[in-house]
Amino acid sequence: MSKISFSFIIPLFNRPLEIVELLESMTCQDEKDFDVIIVEDGSTETSEKVIEPFKQKLRLHYYFKENSGPGLSRNYGCEKSKSNFYIVLDSDCILPPHYFKTVKRELQENYTDVFGGPDKAHNTFTNLQKAINYSMTSYLTTGGI
């Protein structure tokens, strides 16, 4: 197998503050050998200005397109990528500092075409946010209610 190259694909719709938190967590990664592709999906509240400072810290690519929903926006991001492995995230994710290093190591040692799993509520979440997170990621209701 050839060397794995990585792109984070992030569809985005009217979430400029959320994307800042995600990008901040990406700048804190132990390793930064990845591209970040943000696909703004027809937002009226664009994120172009808030992501600009991150272009100096990350290999960041920003695309604005007509609204078509998150699925087609993910596909659009994959088409724009020059990498051979895609990590698709929602804009409200926050990555722990070791996330990318762990994913990269595991894929190099035990390659698989696809992986996934539930997300985890941040320790600063309110009880209501934790309940919502549980209902959205529980094995009984995965994918939303």
pLDDT tens figures, 78-122: 999 999 999 999 998 899 999 999 999 999 999 888 877 666 777
Q: Is the pLDDT of residue 142 over 60?
A: no
Query: Residue 72: CB partners within 8 Å, gap ≥ 6?
Result: none
Q: Of all helices (H) and strands (E), which one includes residue 104?
A: helix 99-109
pLDDT at 26: 98
Share of the chain above pLDDT 90, in %: 70
Instruction: Please give the model's pTM, rounded to 2 decimal places.
Output: 0.84
Rounded (10°) CA dihedral 124, 54, 87, 22: 10
Question: What CATH number was assigned to the domain covering residues 6-114?
Answer: 3.90.550.10
The pLDDT tens digits for 121-139 are 777 777 777 776 666 665 5
Q: What is the per-residue DSSP string for 85-101?
A: EEEE--TT----TTHHH
Please write the tens of the pLDDT for every residue from 17-40.
Answer: 999 999 999 999 999 999 999 999
User: Is the pLDDT assigned to residue 46 strictly greater than 80?
Assistant: yes
Region(s) of the chain under CATH 3.90.550.10: 6-114
